[in-house]
A and B are shown apart, each in its own frame.
Chain A
Amino acid sequence: NAGVTQTPKFQVLKTGQSMTLQCAQDMNHNSMYWYRQDPGMGLRLIYYSASEGTTDKGEVPNGYNVSRLNKREFSLRLESAAPSQTSVYFCASRDRTSGRGNEQFFGPGTRLTVL
């Protein structure tokens, strides 16, 4: 099992450019998440998908859109990148159906710089 995979690993954009961050999991998990991590801020939830076909806003959704393409894949789109979106982005997944104590599984991250 590959777990949670993210592409690309690194990306540099100019202000105003768009891009899509890809995430896939092979653990048959129902829930998927997008976070950003900034120095001193911990993890902040951007969007999540509780199950296939649903998406909801998290703490910091402005400037982002998501698509839950199928059970495996959950993409994050920046329509018009801004320097404030320079960050490390993590995708995570979690199984909601097998009882309490289900941890999240994280991808390796995408390091995005917006100039």
Chain B
Amino acid sequence: GDSVTQMEGPVTLSEEAFLTINCTYTATGYPSLFWYVQYPGEGLQLLLKATKADDKGSNKGFEATYRKETTSFHLEKGSVQVSDSAVYFCALSSGGSYIPTFGRGTSLIVHP
């Protein structure tokens, strides 16, 4: 079946540091890939997505590239802010399934 593996957290960074959160996946066919963000006390919201190989999703300074050859969708940001502190979830959706598959989430803590 489909699966998503994310790096364990928490990831702790100082403001303006570079961020990478690794995500790899296993899926049949050509899934769509997503990053969701969950701020404290809130529900998940879509951060960015990519629907085919080599697509780059981007939003709010975050980027991720759909790498079919390495089955990866790593999240990056060049300069994090305290307001980026949240839990980040990688997810995939295969064409034939109603049920998206989520990673376990990675907590990011950014210190001033």
Contact = CB atoms under 8 A, between A and B. Distances in A.
Given A41-B104, A43-B102, A101-B32, A107 B95 contact: no
Contacts of A41: 104
A106 B51 contact: no
A22 B104 CA distance: 25
B76 to A, nearest CB: 20
A100 B98 contact: no
B46 A90 contact: no
A46 to B, nearest CB: 12
A26 to B, nearest CB: 15
B102 A50 contact: no
Interface in B29-73: 32, 34, 36, 42-46, 49-51
Contacts of A16: none
A103 B89 contact: no
B43 A102 contact: no
A103 to B, nearest CB: 4
B112 to A, nearest CB: 26
Interface in B1-15: none
A106 B43 contact: yes
B100 A104 contact: yes
Contacts of B89: 42-43
Interface in A33-51: 33, 40-43, 45, 48, 50
Given A42-B89, A106-B45, A109-B42, A31 B98 contact: yes
Contacts of B43: 4, 90, 106-109
Interface of A: 4, 31, 33, 40-43, 45, 48, 50, 58, 90, 92, 94, 96, 100-109
Interface of B: 32, 34, 36, 42-46, 49-51, 89, 93, 95, 98-100, 102-105
